[in-house]
Chain A
């Protein structure tokens, strides 16, 4: 039987066994520094619910200037669904807090560890599941 339940179960089995690899399925994640964590508070401008990775574009207020637009990577739609997300879980205009690991090159880019809504609800990002504690020294390509 092809059901949501059986597929979810399969997807979750996949998560538990191989999510670390799934997370880097499309490209290596060497661009992110998993030893660092950063909190962003802002307003969702755009959600790109797409392969190979989905993104939240977040406008973060900057004192005395224009807001800075951050791009925060989340998983592919199939991985996100297996982790409890829906296509419309996050909507443009919502105020959210994102815990991320930032890009090494200092650009406003990161990979999501955890998203918190204004009412306290949370969604976990792939990086939050795969790398719950920052490793001491990231291995090459991982």
Chain B
């Protein structure tokens, strides 16, 4: 506080030198860039409050909240989509003890969350959105007021709850956030909620976050954690802020000339990859034939894609809907709407020697003139190239070459090498074209896993079996979500 007072005095006396510098233990925000980087929630509040008091609820909403709270106490979280790995929504996702990263490229700012691949892109230079349908994270538009980022979000679906205890809301909800870095280096998100269908007056709550140099935003696949018997939201991860806040890393250097920043979509999409079928070795052919036989007998084939854990190769073979790209000098970040995924292309870097296998693998990229070349290894073998269930292994190696076309689009040549199942590289021709939209929509793959679907399903890998599913109600009883390992019984 003393430093702010000093700087204020300096501004008044026009002695500005020194106000923008930072000491190791005190980081006063001076530019919007101070918001960038990885943040860890200070706490995982189960109930949102207004200075410790409940929000001003209408009578109906208060009754709903009371019902949810009673279930919360009993450990029945079926009112919260988070419990079966569906979209938590805003601000629920910010109350979960998972780090998130704020990245920015031009007019696009993104929150990349450490919980099940969710991301939120904020339009910093767009018109008032007119949402075609409500989504869990809505349609955020932001602007900087000095060093404070103000985000207004509309178009929020009423199927989420605002906190873990089940605070309800309608799809008329408008959330206004004011984000700034506090004098002690923490991030403050001061949120105002306006929803006349739910609240008798606007109200405000505050969430805070700290930096932790060890925190990473990794590729989290909620349903795999559920399958291991872990909770959808792991509260043991809560890490209160340290006594002294870590020094922020320097924000990533911007690129001199962004080439891919913005919104794209696939030029064409398909879900079948016949190119691969001509290259099968006997092992690949045997697995493919087994899958084909299951489909011919009328089964739904459950692949990594359909069971909501797609690998990065699916973005190459079956990418579609909106694709948002952010660029910094060290990373090209690709945010895919469907299948929902975050890919990070480490620019001018090498693959590390001790890679942990993952769905997304490890990608390095470089520009060769106008052509972007992305090389990815470190896959986990749980991905199919297409809806035919063409298998892949942990040996898979992919190379994508993005070549600019005359019309401003990109042609993408994908080369997939996987000697476990293919006799020679599979080469696919794909492409991206600019998408005329300011906001991606959402693909909440786990929104409604239905027991009836699983009853007639064939699982390409045992790992693709579900844990949570919607079970039909008997007679007039409504359906409900039940979480238990699926045995097929």
Contact = CB atoms under 8 A, between A and B. Distances in A.
B partners with A = yes
Contact of B130 (A3, A11, A105): A3
Interface stretch (B58-66, B99-107, B203-211, B438-446): B438-446
Contacts of B272: 141
Interface string B63-84: 0000000000000000000000
A102 B442 CA distance: 29
Binding site secondary structure of chain B? loop
B479 A21 contact: no
Given A3-B130, A48-B470, A30 B298 contact: yes
Interface string B124-155: 00110110110000000000000000000000
Contacts of A7: 132, 437
A45 B295 contact: no
Given A2-B127, A48-B479, A66-B475, A31 B456 contact: yes
Contact of A18 (B126, B129, B269, B300): B269
B452 A51 contact: no
Given A21-B269, A105-B298, A8 B132 contact: yes
B456 A140 contact: no
Contacts, number: 111
Chain A interface residue bracket vs B: 35 or more
Contacts of B302: 27
Contacts of A11: 132
B295 A28 contact: yes
A77 interface: yes
Closest 8 CB pairs between A and B?
A: A104-B298, A50-B448, A2-B438, A30-B295, A27-B306, A51-B447, A50-B447, A7-B132
Chain B interface residue bracket vs A: 35 or more
A6 interface: yes
A39 B130 CA distance: 38
Interface in B248-298: 268-272, 292, 295-296, 298
Contacts of B388: 141
B298 A103 contact: yes
Given A11-B132, A24-B271, A30-B300, 7 more contacts: A2-B437, A8-B132, A66-B475, A109-B456, A140-B292, A141-B301, A141-B387
Interface string A9-27: 0110000001001001111
A103 B387 contact: no
A8 B447 CA distance: 23
Nearest to B87: A51
B130 A4 contact: yes
Contacts of B132: 4, 7-8, 11, 78, 81
Interface stretch (A52-60, A113-121, A122-130): A52-60
A136 interface: no
A57 B271 contact: no
B448 A51 contact: yes
B315 to A, nearest CB: 14
B131 to A, nearest CB: 8
A2 B472 contact: no
B18 to A, nearest CB: 43
Contact of B133 (A33, A46, A81, A109): A81
A57 B455 contact: no
B300 A27 contact: yes
